[in-house]
Amino acid sequence: MESYRTDLECLIMATSRMRDSVERWLIHESMSFEGVKSTENTFQVLVKHAGPYGIPIDIFEPKAQQGILVIGAKIPLKNNQIIRYRGFNEEEKAKFANKILEFCNSIEAISKIIVEDGKQKISVFVVLDDKENINQQAMFDAIDSVSEKHEKTSRFLLKTF
């Protein structure tokens, strides 16, 4: 009797392979990381000190986009910036979001304004979506890139907001 794998079984195996690869690459580079529980992602790890600026970086595969690896970092707004942002009306929030979007586009980063732990944060991301080229070197290049984009965005926020 032949055994056939279901689509779900193949998906679980592919996800497990990507997670295993990411964890193996991090261990190979002696980087400290921990698993993060997420309902939105197939897997997610937090690297505590990464890239040239030694910042926390998330690496994950979104459930909605299997086979894609996302590397991202969060820039928390300072307390005075949060107070100012919360005082914005909807139009001012939209202008602020557009300003962040334009800046992040200029540095080739995907961005999103999020609320986490009751604080507004700007997330910057790099997406690796070419399955054949998701490898150790590409991931570490993306980590370095996200670290630099985090620093540039942080400086932009300090100067303009």
CATH number at residue 15: 3.30.1460.10
Residue 1 lies in a domain: no
Residue 106 lies in a domain: yes
Sorted by sequence, the CB contacts under 8 Å of residue 57 that are 6+ apart come out as: 46, 47, 50, 51, 71, 72, 73, 143, 146, 147
Measure the CA–CA gap between 99 and 72, rounded to whole angstroms: 19
Residue 123 lies in a domain: yes
Residue 2 lies in a domain: no
User: What is the pLDDT at residue 147?
Assistant: 97
User: What is the pLDDT at residue 11?
Assistant: 44
User: What is the pLDDT at residue 131?
Assistant: 76
User: What is the pLDDT at residue 8?
Assistant: 46
User: What is the pLDDT at residue 114?
Assistant: 92
Helix (H) or strand (E) holding 146: helix 136-160
- Considering its fold, how many domains does the chain have in total? 1
Residue 109 lies in a domain: yes
Q: Which two tokens stand for residue 129?
A: 């979506």
Measure the CA–CA gap between 31 and 49, rounded to whole angstroms: 8
CA nearest to 103, candidates 159, 48, 32:
159
What is the domain range of residue 89? 7-160
Per-residue pLDDT of the chain (161 residues; tens, 9 = 90+): 445 555 545 444 555 789 999 999 999 999 999 999 999 999 999 999 999 999 999 999 999 998 899 999 999 999 889 889 889 999 999 999 999 999 999 999 999 999 988 888 999 999 998 777 899 999 999 999 999 999 999 999 999 88
